[in-house]
Structure 1
Amino acid sequence: MKKAFPVYDICSLADNQHHDLLISRFAPYLQKHHNLALAHKHSFYHVVLFTRGGGKHAIDFKQFDVKPYQIYFMAPGQVHSWSFEGPVDGYIINFSAEFFQSFLLRPEYLDSFVFFTGDVNEQVIELDGTVQLGINRLFEQLISESAQPSRLNMDMIRALMLQLFITVAREKTEGSTLGVPGYNYTLLQSFRKLVDKHFATLRLPKDYAALLYITPNHLNALCNDMLGIPAGELIRDRVVLEAKRLLINHDMNINEIAGKLNFADNSYFTKFFKKYTGQTPEDFRKTQYRNEHSR
């Protein structure tokens, strides 16, 4: 079995590009990094536009069909894999969380784009024909600017990337994620960030409501209104997701994973995992192993 669950940073994937950024056409990138077909984790933001190809790709264990003029976005820490059919091409951008920090007055600006929040259901977008040509042009400009990285080139790249994000966000949400986010959206993002930080130790909505200085009823109403699920389900989903991420790392046994997620024992963790996934942790691990090695 695979012994290590790979975590890639930009430096491990780039040649001579800026250490915070990698921009490439997708076909040569894929040819060089064919090992990325297996499940792996990124420490950076990751954007891909497919212009040609078929097959499947998965983000945090949710599968999507590969289609021309599909664009997807990933935040740091998410798990990803590919299984392509036939020739595939397009464009790829990898960039660090620090890449925009000195450029933007609001360092949290990227969080205003719903496709960078880590919600898998918002991250894969089929581009309408009316924007495909404009998006293609932006990627071609990014390829050109990245060929000679100077300070002004890098600032132009940042400006072009923001134009790309805004164009896609406008197409997807008609501007609801642009500008200054509304109070409820900001509150929901704060809740998600707290869950990402504390899910292993804080499992009840009332714990997060206290950290947000709101009532549990307010938090549940917010989640039901904006996500269609109660706050407790969002917390449970995050625990299940982390369990899946850990289970594909064969360096850790089930007891170690249960302990890392703060379950009292292996039996309780197994019951919890099976209740919300329909599989035991061992069955999930075996299924993922078979799927990866059948490619």
Structure 2
Amino acid sequence: MKAQFPIFDICKLSRCEQEDIFISRLAPFLDKHQNLLLSHKHTFYHIVLFTEGAGSHDIDFQRFLVRPYQIYFMGPGQVHSWSFEGKVDGYVVNFSTQFFQSLLLKADYLDQFPFFNGNVAEAVIDLSTNLHPLILDLFEKLVHESETVQHLRQDMVRVLLVQLFIQMDRLSFERPVHQATAYNYTLLRNYQKLVEKNYTSLKLPREYAELLFITPGHLNALCHEVLGQSAGEVIRDRIMLEAKRLLTNLSLTISEVAYQLNFADNSYFTKFFKKHTGLTPEKFRDGLFNQLSQDALSLQ
């Protein structure tokens, strides 16, 4: 297998014109970066609003149909690819993990937004018709700021992005998944943050319940109520996602992937992976790169 999943940073995409922020209309961006149709990873935050187009896009091994006025959010490290049909346009915004640090004292400010929590189901949002003018106006202002040289331009871009995040966050609370009390939702988000930081070392719900000062039963009931899955499944899904991401890196052996995920041995990791996917890690990796090779040939 010679195919590799490329990893892009903002500098590669913008020729280092802007190292921390990149804003563009989507059509010219795609024309310039045809290679981004293939599976790849980002080292930065990535936002796209489609205003026209069809086809599909994959984020962390989940497929979504492209629709006008659909917006999606991605964080660093996620695996992504596109398969478009016909003309596609909209807006793209890429920004580094450091972009907001000079403006906001709260280092984890972005962590509060559900669309940046790594759960892909939260990150792809179809905008209701009444929101089209508001969100479109924000993106137009972002493009305008990126194309002009004005005093405090970068800070204006940051302010516009924060407005976008808050508007989308308010929308997320209108969804059924968030019809929980403010206390329960905050508790759930804290659990998800703990899992994100500790999934390789803490693999039992009771360990997280102890950190949250609640009982394992309370934690499990909360996850069932809001997410429709058990607390254990939240941990398992995060481990599985990272396993799939690591398997895209051909420089890592299966044993090294198992080690990074803190499995006792390669055999236990293989059994765990096959139980939840129906495939061995080797077969999963073969399938990924066979598809990547086919996609590459289709673009030639």
Name the counterpart of 2:91: 91
> Which AA in structure 2 matches 1:288?
L
Q: Does 1:41 align with 2:47?
A: no
Mapped contact 1:71–1:126 kept (Cα < 8 A): yes
Return the TM-score normalized by structure 2.
0.88
Q: Secondary structure at the match of 1:156?
A: helix
> After alignment, is 169-178 or 278-287 more displaced?
169-178
Name the counterpart of 1:128: 128
Unaligned runs of 5+ in 1: none
User: Once superposed, what is the RMSD of the aligned Cα atoms?
Assistant: 2.4
Name the counterpart of 1:201: 201
Distance 2:17 2:205 in 1: 44
Distance 1:246 1:219 in 2: 29
Mapped contact 2:10–2:95 kept (Cα < 8 A): yes
> After alignment, is 149-158 or 74-83 more displaced?
149-158
Mapped contact 1:3–1:249 kept (Cα < 8 A): no
Distance 1:26 1:141 in 2: 15
Name the counterpart of 2:104: 104
What is the CA-CA distance between 1:149 and the residue it aligns to? 4.6
What is the CA-CA distance between 1:267 and the residue it aligns to? 2.2
Name the counterpart of 2:298: none
Name the counterpart of 1:230: 230
Mapped contact 2:49–2:70 kept (Cα < 8 A): yes
Report the CA distance shift for 1:176/1:12 in structure 2 as closer, same or farther (over 3 A).
farther
Q: Does 1:254 align with 2:220?
A: no
Distance 1:151 1:195 in 2: 41
Deviations 1:212-235 (A, max 9, x none): 333322322222222121111111
Count of residue pairs the alignment pairs up: 293
What is the CA-CA distance between 1:165 and the residue it aligns to? 2.2
> After alignment, is 189-198 or 167-176 more displaced?
167-176
Q: Secondary structure at the match of 2:152?
A: helix
> Which AA in structure 2 matches 1:84?
F
> Which AA in structure 2 matches 1:89?
D
Name the counterpart of 2:167: 167
Mapped contact 1:114–1:177 kept (Cα < 8 A): no
Name the counterpart of 1:71: 71
Mapped contact 2:74–2:123 kept (Cα < 8 A): yes
Name the counterpart of 1:57: 57
Distance 1:273 1:151 in 2: 53
Q: Secondary structure at the match of 1:283?
A: helix
Name the counterpart of 2:188: 188
Report the CA distance shift for 1:151/1:200 in structure 2 as closer, same or farther (over 3 A).
farther
Report the CA distance shift for 1:142/1:271 in structure 2 as closer, same or farther (over 3 A).
same
> Which AA in structure 2 matches 1:127?
L
Name the counterpart of 2:115: 115
Report the CA distance shift for 1:112/1:176 in structure 2 as closer, same or farther (over 3 A).
farther
> Which AA in structure 1 matches 2:263?
F
Distance 1:151 1:231 in 2: 48
Name the counterpart of 2:214: 214
Distance 2:78 2:57 in 1: 13
Distance 1:109 1:170 in 2: 15
Distance 1:136 1:66 in 2: 17
Q: Secondary structure at the match of 1:76?
A: coil
Q: Does 1:137 align with 2:137?
A: yes
> Which AA in structure 2 matches 1:277?
T
> Which AA in structure 2 matches 1:58?
D
Mapped contact 1:209–1:216 kept (Cα < 8 A): yes
Distance 2:251 2:16 in 1: 32
Report the CA distance shift for 1:170/1:207 in structure 2 as closer, same or farther (over 3 A).
closer
Name the counterpart of 2:278: 278
Percent of pairs identical after alignment? 57
Unaligned runs of 5+ in 2: 296-300
Q: Secondary structure at the match of 1:293?
A: helix
Deviations 1:29-57 (A, max 9, x none): 22222222222222221110111222211
Mapped contact 1:8–1:43 kept (Cα < 8 A): yes
Mapped contact 1:4–1:251 kept (Cα < 8 A): no
Distance 1:213 1:100 in 2: 32
Deviations 1:108-129 (A, max 9, x none): 3323322111111111111122
Return the TM-score normalized by structure 1.
0.90
Q: Secondary structure at the match of 1:294?
A: helix
Mapped contact 2:3–2:292 kept (Cα < 8 A): no
